[in-house]
A and B are shown apart, each in its own frame.
Chain A
Amino acid sequence: MRKILIANRGEIAVRIVRACRDLGLASVAVYSDADRGARHVRMADEACHLGPSPASESYLRIDRILDAARASGADAVHPGYGFLSENAAFTAACRDAGLTFIGPSAEAIELMGSKTAARGAAIAAGVPVVPGTKDFIPITASDADIAVAAHEIGYPIMVKAVAGGGGKGMRTVHVPGDLPGAIRAARSEAGAAFGDSAIYLERRLERPRHVEVQLLADHEGTVLPFVERECSIQRRHQKLVEETPSPSVSPDLRARLAAAAAAVARASRYTNAGTIEFLLDEDGRFYFLEMNTRLQVEHPITEAVTGVDLVEWQIRIARGEPLSLDAGQALLPNGHAIECRIYAEDADAGFLPSPGPVTALRVPAGPGIRDDGGVDAGGEVPIFYDPLISKLIAWGQDRAQAIARLRRALREYEVLGIRTTVPFFTWLLRQPAFAEGAFHTGYLDELLHSRQSRPFSEQDLSLEEVAAMALALELGARAARGETNRSRARLNDSSEHSFVRTHTDRQSAGAGGWKRRARIDALRH
């Protein structure tokens, strides 16, 4: 393997370019019209244009991506996450074109892509699943038949899309009367989103936590599970904050989660990187939820506490290397890591998308901080793709230190031009339940609902802060007019146009003015 084509964009494409470079491999970026000047294109060694901006005409075009691989002479393809990463047909097409696909086999993707088949695989591996229907509900099933099945499972019930993901095609039902309507709505949504309207039923657990186990598996049958990630901070089923280890998992539970995850992976002859998601109930029982057959967005927190470069290992496994990592170490976290997903969204406007030009960007640094970003100052966040612009990861010796560092880093984080979720995270990290680690998957939605729509950033300003802002605004306006402090006369002339009424102190040539200036000058040294 010498050259890897990265069939993705944004921060994850940048992450993969870095892994290629660390391994001495060449990288090929692909891009759409909207991404012509994007960071991943500039960072990669080579770049191939795919087509127009919509993903369906660029990043989802298997034929165009294979053309790009041929044109560049790439011998391997890394799919990243999203787009074609869990598309078995793409994996098979890469294989048929003689390219190494950096990920699992098409068969494993196919198996885990069906939620009901994946549940079956977990049951076969002796891993508990959330009580539910064994298979999808046939379209011919009568309302009465479905009601019987639902009664056996017990309410509240979740109606879920077999091909589901991202909260689409999902409905919660509390009373039997609402079931037929919810099934119709979920079928229609799933059909539109995934081209497959099949749904199944599952019991809705009350106040569960979402924990997941990252694993690596090589081609010799070695499966290596890692310390769990806690991903319960979600808004409408979308993860916003992830951390590892989970504040609610004991070493004993950790070992059992890891064993269960490894059993599912072995039973499905899984290879490369994957993640098994579990729900953890209030009594510490866990249930298999699904398997993600790709690199996860939140993989850096695992890297932070284990020191393992997961993307590098994906590549090494794909080129046939056996795993040579210490299994004990993978389950013994060094310290604590937390990730915030920085989205181009206006949290104050109900997390409304906020695409557009990024006029200024300063990312944090310092002890324990990692920023995996995909945009630059002067760049643009297009309307066509996912709003994730960066992931901010903090590592600390313990959870408290990780939180303190994250708060410090959020304060250093500056983005202008677009709105981001930075003010929201600053607010979230101050919540007592977050500090205590006492939350569940519904926690954030409940909290957001209860606080109505007050702004997330603290808007109260001290006298000094108002003065500082006013002076910066005034001097900025003067600079914009091409004005300097050259002449007092000019300043006086322009004071009428100035939006801050400026006075050149006519008496400042006198003793008071000079004294004041001298004093301030003295303070600068």
Chain B
Amino acid sequence: MDLETNGELRSVEVRSSGNASVITVDGRAVEAMATRLGGRWLLLVAPAAGDAEGRPDGSGAAAATRAFRSYDIAIADQGDGQFTVLVDGRAVEVSVPQLRRGVGRREESSSAGTGPARIVAPMPGRIVKVLVKPGDEVDARQPLVVIEAMKMENELRSPRQGRVAEVTVVEGALVEAKTVLVVVT
């Protein structure tokens, strides 16, 4: 299985034995113990020993006492294989490709290509203004919709030149993030 963070794909394998686990990341193994505390995790990780490389069971560097690194972790499941992981308070975006339910399920604004461009709400909010109607010809960067949340207005512009095929919202409507608002073909 793989974890994608910071645009990097890391191949990870977990082998558990009772309380302890051996995690192999890109061929390098470390030992760790996890304790669940309510919705969060305490991870004690043995520092990667130099000789652990190539010993996937991580059983090298045996010593009577070793200091484990302590990581305080909380996870928010964003759905569709996306997670926000807090590592000692630091927010890290993690994607697990195996958990994605097929490509193209999430609506994204597409600016390139020749297919229809879907303009989606970047945040939950209220539609303040709808500036186009179906059939309108629009230029690239022409404002289409104004959405407002928390006293901040956001003007959504057309990613390219085209014709408005669909307008799915009316002024005053409350929308969730990622709702398709306008389709430009």
Q: Please list the residues of chain A having a beta carbon within 8 angstroms of any beta carbon in chain B.
A: 344-345, 349, 352-356, 359-360, 383-387, 410-414, 416-417, 419, 422-423, 426, 457-461, 463-476, 479, 485, 491, 498-505, 508, 512-513, 515-517, 519-524
Contact = CB atoms under 8 A, between A and B. Distances in A.
Contact of B87 (A352, A384, A468): A468
Contacts of B6: 459-461
Given A353-B123, A499-B98, A504-B17, A472 B34 contact: yes
B14 A412 contact: no
Interface in B56-77: 57, 59, 62, 64-66, 68-69, 71, 73-76
Contact of A458 (B1, B47, B84, B90): B90
A109 B69 CA distance: 57
Given A467-B45, A499-B96, A520-B33, A414 B5 contact: no
B181 to A, nearest CB: 15
Contact of A517 (B17, B69, B126): B17
30 contacts: A354-B123, A355-B125, A359-B76, A360-B40, A383-B150, A384-B150, A414-B74, A416-B75, A423-B91, A460-B6, A463-B48, A466-B5, A467-B12, A467-B30, A468-B71, A469-B5, A470-B12, A470-B14, A471-B32, A471-B34, A473-B83, A473-B85, A485-B18, A500-B1, A502-B15, A502-B16, A504-B17, A517-B19, A517-B20, A520-B33
Q: Which are the 7 A-B pairs with shortest beta-carbon distances?
A: A468-B43, A459-B6, A467-B23, A416-B76, A353-B149, A508-B17, A353-B150
Nearest to A409: B89
Contact of A469 (B19, B33, B68, B85): B85
User: Which residue among A422, A472, A479 has the maximum number of chain B CB atoms within 10 Å of its CB?
Assistant: A472
Nearest to A382: B150
A383 B21 CA distance: 43
B17 A499 contact: no
A346 B120 CA distance: 17
Interface residues of B, number: 73
A54 B156 CA distance: 22
B151 A385 contact: yes
Given A386-B150, A416-B86, A468-B43, A505 B57 contact: yes
Q: Could you say which of B14, B15, B43, B59 has the most chain A C-beta atoms within 10 Å of its C-beta?
A: B14
Contacts of B17: 504-505, 508, 513, 516-517
A473 B75 contact: yes
Contact of B19 (A459, A470, A502, A521): A521
B94 interface: yes
Main secondary structure of the interface of B (DSSP, over half): strand
A484 to B, nearest CB: 11
A464 B89 contact: no
B28 interface: yes
A458 B90 CA distance: 8
B13 interface: yes
A413 B89 CA distance: 6
Nearest to A388: B150
Given A359-B76, A501-B1, A353 B125 contact: yes
B36 A344 contact: no
B3 A470 contact: yes
B85 A410 contact: no
Given A459-B6, A516-B59, A468 B92 contact: no
B10 interface: yes
Contacts of A517: 17-20
Contacts of B174: 383
Contacts of B12: 466-467, 470, 500
A517 B69 CA distance: 17
A479 B16 CA distance: 14
Greatest chain B CB density within 10 A among A468, A474, A504 is at A468
B154 interface: yes
A476 B75 contact: yes
Contact of A414 (B10, B20, B86): B86
Given A474-B14, A521-B19, 10 more contacts: A345-B150, A360-B76, A383-B126, A383-B149, A457-B90, A461-B5, A470-B23, A504-B17, A505-B17, A522-B64
A223 to B, nearest CB: 33
A520 B174 CA distance: 53
B25 to A, nearest CB: 5
B39 interface: yes
B122 interface: yes
B178 to A, nearest CB: 12
B145 to A, nearest CB: 15
A246 to B, nearest CB: 28
Contacts of A384: 150
Given A353-B152, A463-B25, A468 B32 contact: yes
A457 B5 CA distance: 12
Contacts of B81: 499
Contacts of A419: 91
Nearest to B43: A468
A516 B10 CA distance: 25
A523 B5 contact: no
Contacts of A468: 32, 43, 45, 69, 71, 73, 87
B18 A414 contact: no
Contacts of A466: 3, 5, 10, 12, 25
B124 interface: yes
B140 interface: no
Nearest to A467: B23
A516 B32 CA distance: 11
A206 to B, nearest CB: 28
Contacts of A412: 89
Interface in B86-112: 86-94, 96, 98-99
A502 B73 contact: no
A256 B122 CA distance: 48
A352 B154 contact: yes
Interface in B143-160: 149-152, 154
A476 B151 contact: no
Contacts of B10: 466, 470
A58 to B, nearest CB: 15
B23 A471 contact: yes
Contacts of B48: 463-464
Given A352-B123, A470-B23, A523-B68, A500 B14 contact: yes
Nearest to A387: B150
